[in-house]
Amino acid sequence: MEHKNYNSINKSVRKKDSMQLLLGKPVYVEDVVPNDALVVKLLRSPHANAIVSEIDTKIAKLVPGVVDVYTWEDVPNNRFTNAGQTYPEASPYDRLIIDRHVRFVGDVVAIVAAENEKAAEKALKLIKVKYEILDAILDFHTAKDNELLVHPEDNWVAPCEVGGNNRRNLVASERTSEGDVDAIMNDCDIVLDRTYHTKAYNQAMMETFRTYTSMDRYGRLHVISSTQIVFHVRRILSHALGIPKTMIRVEKPRIGGGFGAKQTAVSEVYPAFVTYKTGRPAMIIFSREESQIAGSPRHEMEVRVRLGASREGKIRVLDIYTLSNTGAYGEHGPTTVGLSGHKSIPMYTGSLEAFRFDYDVVYTNTMAAGAYRGYGATQGIFALETTVNELAEMIGMDPTEIRYKNMLKEGMIMPAYYNELASACALDRCLDHCKEMFKWDEKYPVRDMGNGKVRAAGMGMAMQGSCISNLDVGSATVKLTEDGSFMLLIGAADMGTGCDTILAQMVAEFMDCSVDDVSVFGADTDASPYDSGSYASSTTYITGKAVEKACMELKQKMCTIAAGLLNCTEEEMYFEDGKIKRINTDESVSLSEIGVKAQLNNPHIAEASASHSSPVSPPPFMVGMVEIELDKLTGEVKIIDFMSVVDCGIPINPALARIQAEGGIVQGIGHTLMENVTYNADGKLIESSLMQYRLPTRLDMGNLKVEFEHSFEPTGPFGAKSIGEIVINTPAPAITHAIYRATGVWHREIPITPEKIAMTKPEGK
């Protein structure tokens, strides 16, 4: 399908749920569930590594309103993973609902179920616990092959062979290469060897983790949760509770933000266990502190980049090693780390002669990490792009020019990206466009403002993916109603990204109708067709293609029904302008007539379901440029302009795509300048509230401008690729670059706080 002028595609259509949200209608978990649910609270460990030697819940159970208190002795001994990932599951089965061995400050020691919050809180204080305190591993550099084991248990299970070994504190390990890396490195004029450190940033979504559970009228467990992964939650609960998946129904209402945190089943198992034990409805709502100390943050990573280049700026060889800290449990550990190399190295396919990418993922006694927008690409791109910027500065070449000399271009095979073809790549045009829009040539030189402040510019480029190739499945069901409108059923979760609207636009385009004539339902494991869920930037690309297939099939079925109405053959009918027409005649049948006939003495169903999976994951691309003003006395950095150009194929809804980009850029600014994660000597997280964990506001983001360069991805619906994750990846290298330009110092750890800037002088000064 070639790029053309569409009626509903590449149009900025208002979000389906916008009026409900603007008017404050009840749409979130806490809004839509009954008020009679038991309150579920969790007692959490104060120690980073300990064994519960004794626990006394007798007094706590006597508190009026307390229904029960559960400990490790009450739960099934079924190891499972909270990671919301498709079979085969890469993450190890290393969790119990409650484990006697607690592995980080915040790990669950007991579950309290009470009639009200006051009783539950009182009971928490009356549980008496004695711990055998163990030495903890808090520094992830010391974890691998440490004599201390975070997971010494014998029933640790690795469903996939990913190089994990709990006896070595390893969740995953891999070595990949192509070409003679060492020989080429030794032959290079310039070799840079740099190590970068990124923290375990918290998603800090507005709506904390929360889940409601009850038994339905058929005796099945009904779960309503703020989740991105309804089908995976069903599987996770089945494993944890030891009950069949057919006895579990999971649905999600509107989600108040997730950014990947809710691709992990952080909260679901606790009220589910209470309901399963008591038969009563139960609800858990994480406090902000719980979400901060026991959530599912980004993986802390250390990325070592060795880059070999010629004096002319040709990047000949790259050697990357990533050490990733998965924390106390292995959720997403094996899968995030790969992106740090496979989504950074391919950007320099244009010049590379060889590459090597190795990684280790280790356990520590800190909060378990998970999925966060950008996954592991964010960490790897920060490291590699900063190294490339340093190379440019070292040889006196404009950083844009060194990209032109080395970058991936359309039509190239990407050896470091599973040998995929860059079939739609506008990265060079993104750089041209961004350079002109930003006025790079004017802003790149450092400008002294005469008041102790300087202005400087920096840049970075990025790539991501559009799905997990050969794995993700997206599905859609499209139904024709008797009034000629359509119902779209999906299993993907709209978490504010607008996927409900985008997929409805696709139906409207195929069916020549208004977007208002398409209703959307989802996600519900009982009613929605199977979908891997909303993650890996896959919804538009994968589920969108399923929508396309379902619409094509439904058109054929409508032709069959129309042929019966006109007493002709199906081959004489075709779809055009929202009607079924008969070839070479003026006869036609309206959609409402077909909808009515489908319900009246008719053997043909007016609906179609389709699934889609892709053997490739075409990357979107992005270039970002930033202008900062830096106060040399205080180290304060102010963002003046951040401009970016994104290639996401053909944007289905440019307004929603732009908002996605702006939101991701702001998160990237936060990671780079202010968000911090630190543990004290006892393994307690210091930034346990939003008072300590500083997030960027409108005052911190400067002037943002996002534009698009179109490419046409032949494997995507209407030529579309993804946009959700890539947009977070350029702020860190761009801002780091600008800070170097202003101060002469390369910072290799983010966040780069004012204190670090003010107290770090250039080498030799």
What CATH number should be reported for the domain holding residue 275?
Answer: 3.90.1170.50
Bond preceding residue 751 cis, omega within 30 of 0:
yes
Indicate whether 536 pLDDT > 80: no
For 203-269, what is the HEC assignment? CCCCCCCEEEEEECCCCCEEEEECCCCHHHHHHHHHHHHCCCHHHEEEECCCCCCCCCHHHECCCCH
From residue 38, how far is each of 35, 221, 346, 405 by CA, in Å? Answer: 9, 15, 51, 63
pLDDT of residue 685: 98
How does residue 764 score in pLDDT terms, banded at 50, 70 and 90?
low
Q: Determine the Cα–Cα distance for residues 158 and 146; give it in Å rounded to an integer.
A: 20
Q: Which stretch of 427-441, 534-548, 666-680 has the lowest confidence by average pLDDT?
A: 534-548
Average the pLDDT over 701-723 and give the result.
96
Indicate whether 293 pLDDT > 60: yes
User: In total, how many domains does the chain have?
Assistant: 2
Whether residue 237 lies inside any domain: the answer is: yes
pLDDT digits (tens, 9 = 90+) for 432-451: 999 999 999 999 999 999 99
Task: Decide: helix, strand or coil at residue 157.
Answer: strand
pLDDT of residue 533: 80
pLDDT digits (tens, 9 = 90+) for 87-133: 889 999 999 999 999 999 999 999 999 999 999 999 999 999 999 99
pLDDT digits (tens, 9 = 90+) for 43-55: 999 999 999 999 9
Indicate whether 302 pLDDT > 50: yes
pLDDT of residue 1: 36
pLDDT of residue 2: 46
How does residue 291 score in pLDDT terms, banded at 50, 70 and 90?
very high
Q: Determine the Cα–Cα distance for residues 422 and 254; give it in Å rounded to an integer.
A: 36
What is the pTM for the complete model shown? 0.96
Whether residue 485 lies inside any domain: the answer is: yes
User: What order do you get walking across the sheet with 486-490 strand by strand?
Assistant: 518-521, 486-490, 474-480, 607-612
pLDDT of residue 217: 95
pLDDT, the chain, mean: 96
Indicate whether 4 pLDDT > 80: no
Element spanning 271, H or E: helix 269-278
Whether residue 221 lies inside any domain: the answer is: yes
pLDDT digits (tens, 9 = 90+) for 563-587: 999 999 999 999 999 999 999 999 9
Indicate whether 765 pLDDT > 80: no
Q: Which stretch of 17-26, 107-116, 308-317, 742-751 has the lowest confidence by average pLDDT?
A: 17-26
Whether residue 89 lies inside any domain: the answer is: yes
Whether residue 228 lies inside any domain: the answer is: yes
Whether residue 432 lies inside any domain: the answer is: no
Whether residue 536 lies inside any domain: the answer is: yes
* Domain final residue pick, 612, 636, 658: 612
Average the pLDDT over 246-260 and give the result.
95
Q: Which range of residues forms the domain containing residue 273?
A: 33-136+203-293
* Domain final residue pick, 572, 588, 612: 612
Residue 765: other Cβ atoms inside 10 A: 6
pLDDT digits (tens, 9 = 90+) for 145-187: 999 999 999 999 999 999 999 999 999 999 999 999 999 999 9
Read off the CATH number of the domain in which 603 is found: 3.30.365.10
Q: Which stretch of 411-415, 468-472, 536-540, 719-723 has the lowest confidence by average pLDDT?
A: 536-540
Whether residue 540 lies inside any domain: the answer is: yes
How does residue 420 score in pLDDT terms, banded at 50, 70 and 90?
very high
b or e along 120-159 (b: 16 or more beta carbons within 10 Å of the residue's beta carbon)?
bebbbebbebebeebebbbebeebbebeebbbeeeebebe
Average the pLDDT over 407-425 and give the result.
97
Indicate whether 714 pLDDT > 90: yes
* Domain final residue pick, 293, 312, 341: 293
